Amino acid sequence: MKDNGATKGGSLKREYHESYARYFVKYIQAMKAEGIIIDALTIQNEPLHPGNNPSLLMLADQQRDFIKDALGPAFKAAGIKTKIVLYDHNLDRPDYPVSILNDPEAKKYIDGSAFHLYAGNVSAMSQVYNAHPDKNLYFTEQWTGSTGNFNGDLKWHIKNVVIGTMKNWSRVALEWNLASDPAYQPHTPGGCTQCKGALTINGNQVNRNVGYYIIAHASKFVPDGSRRILSTELDGLSNVAFITPQERKCCWYLTSRIRKRRFLSVLMANRRPVL
């Protein structure tokens, strides 16, 4: 269905839009038959990066037309309730999702937009929100690698992936990937050879890595169903505040300066968010 006839690179031929849409419908129906409900999907991982294997170069106008002419109508005809989430790539191109959402025929089928942070700034999520506040935002991927430093990775990911995305309207914060063996397998030919799983599985031995603790630190205090509330950004003290389903206030802080430690300990002792 691609113009280069290969798994890597190339673009979807227009005459195969309906076929690709039917593929998604059949996939969702087959999973449902096995008792697995697909809540949401993105059309293509990193559509502006044709160097992955597999990959598909899908420019904004191509994704827009595929959604409004093929995928959206196919889902509607089949009664599919799975959410359509567009983009799923870096935050240096907020114009990509905005341009698609600016098309009313495409927008009516779209739940929201998904992002990675290998390029750009996390504040770009707010640009997309401000342009289309009726659509959801999701942060769907950030990796930790074999050459990374535990302390540095933990700090950067908490500040950007957890605190940063939540302060910029994201509904989720996801780390990639879930698990690998000590050789960072399995992966496709040409795939990532250094991507560290949250868990390393070696036979019956399981080791927890930095990705595990990035998510564990936040999820321990911010359960499913929590709502973000306003918090004031302070110099050297990144933070995000939530109300949990039990209507309890909780706050997540990250400080990089020793002089802030006393202030941080006072805030945590009072158990109050910075509002």
Q: Is 1-141 CATH 3.20.20.80?
A: yes
Residue 63's H or E segment, with its range, is helix 60-66
φ/ψ of residue 254, rounded to 5: -140, 120
What number is the average pLDDT over the span 7-33? 97
Residue 252's pLDDT band, with cuts at 50, 70 and 90, is low
Domain boundaries, the chain: 1-141, 226-275
Q: How many CB atoms lie within 10 A of CB 24?
A: 20
Residue 154 in contact with residue 214, Cβ under 8 Å? yes
Q: What is the pLDDT of residues 136-171, one digit of tens each?
A: 999 999 999 999 999 999 999 999 999 999 999 999
46 tagged catalytic: yes
20: left (phi over 0), alpha (psi -120 to 50) or beta: alpha
141 tagged catalytic: yes
Q: What is the mean pLDDT of the chain?
A: 90
Cα 195 from chain centroid (whole Å)? 16
φ/ψ of residue 253, rounded to 5: -120, 155
Which of 15, 18, 34, 141 is the catalytic position? 141
Residue 230 in contact with residue 274, Cβ under 8 Å? no
Which of 15, 18, 34, 46 is the catalytic position? 46
Nearest Cα to 212, choosing from 238, 176, 248? 176
Q: What is the pLDDT of residues 71-88, one digit of tens each?
A: 999 999 999 999 999 999
